[in-house]
Structure 1
Amino acid sequence: MSTPAITVHRVGREAQPVVVIDGFAPDPDALRDVAIGATFGPATQHYPGIRAALPPSYLPSQLAVLADILGPMLGRSGAVDVIDASFSMVTTPPDQLEVRQRFPHCDAFGADRIALVHYLAPMGDGTAFFRHRSTGFETLDEERAPIFFGQLEAEIRYGGLPPARYVTGDTPLFERIFEVEARYNRALVYPSYLLHSGAIAPDAVLSSDPAFGRLTVTGFLSVG
């Protein structure tokens, strides 16, 4: 079994850590086979697609890899706990996106929360990170959130709604500051309060079949 290759990027003016791990799972083909045979259902929390349960063996084996990475990355020595994790696939056509799905977002405001994306499609779209132009925010915490959402509401009120599409690059309201390309068996780990979006191309295949769609594992973790 080969050792995963780890690259740490410091992103944007805030120099937040974004970690790329190539060769993340020891047997990605077997994991992909499980996903192809899994039963998917509608996702919650505004994820634009579907989700399915992971095999029981996935998290214990991968948490050992993540524990060695997340401690130094965040300067923490506590345990890594799983809040939620599943197979996930983006399936919502651009013209059916809710307004909030057309903007970069963050998943949590706490500094102890970590997001994981494990790419399991042979080809697919990656993940992009953004700066909100008018506030300069690249991350959102409890203090920044009311400022950000108030400003965004005003920008929508006076500038109109964004087009019905996934945000992949610069827009009038947001500047893309970094993008990670999707590669088979690559994992992406980053603080959940970073503004980000799946970089879903206009011509992306948004199939609900795991054999053809944008298959990933998405997880949300906490580090003590």
Structure 2
Amino acid sequence: MDYKQLMVSWMEEGTVSIPQLLLSNYHKIGLSESEFVLLLQVYSFIEKGNNFPTPEELSSQMSFSSEECSSILRRLVQNQFISIEEGNSSSGILYEKYSLKPLWAKMAEFVLSESKSENMEKTLLEETDLYTVFEQEFSRPLSPLECETLAMWIDQDEHTVVIIKAALREAVISGKLNFRYIDRILFEWKKNGVKTIEQAKKHGERFRPHQKMQSAAQTVKSDKKTVPFYNWLEQ
């Protein structure tokens, strides 16, 4: 056997690169195994320069009959996994060709949908954790009105979970653990464009010297050390 010639023949056959994303998720976008394999055969023919393989040509590469291939092709077109487009040769002759653009579009939609689902799941977990953190700090279950306020901060005021937790921490440090005080902090932060933890810290640091002077004046006769804080309600 001429192994060198055999290797040349293999190389001349070429290769078909299949996106891993498609290989792992074809069933999630609605493709059956038979439809997926036939799609790969269509893709293979296109890569070799045959843009419109016949059912007989496809059947020659598969265990399906040409009738079965025709039936699968019709389903793929009807379900918008492939499309039939018209082309125009250099000599002006019109011809038909298969296009896999609908397949790639479905894969793109699938990726976006998966990403949104993951983000929604992450957001739900963060919000659930937020309620738990508040209940731990308040040492009691939240009232329906307080739960509604938390939801309003997220949905209407569009505060992130991170920022709400930061405002809660500021209230704890300040010794003013109540929703009105936290709401005031969030209002001040939003008014001043505070959206990150770093911005919140910098915003508070601008008021620390003044607050320290007030705190010192209030504790001149006390030996206890106090934690200076910025009184957001007085602004």
Indicate whether the TM-score tops 0.5.
no
State the TM-score, normalized to the length of structure 1: 0.20
TM-score by length of 2: 0.19
Higher fraction of helix: 2
Larger relative CO (CA 8 A, sep 6+): 1 or 2? 1
- The structure with the greater share of residues assigned to strand is 1
Larger radius of gyration: 2
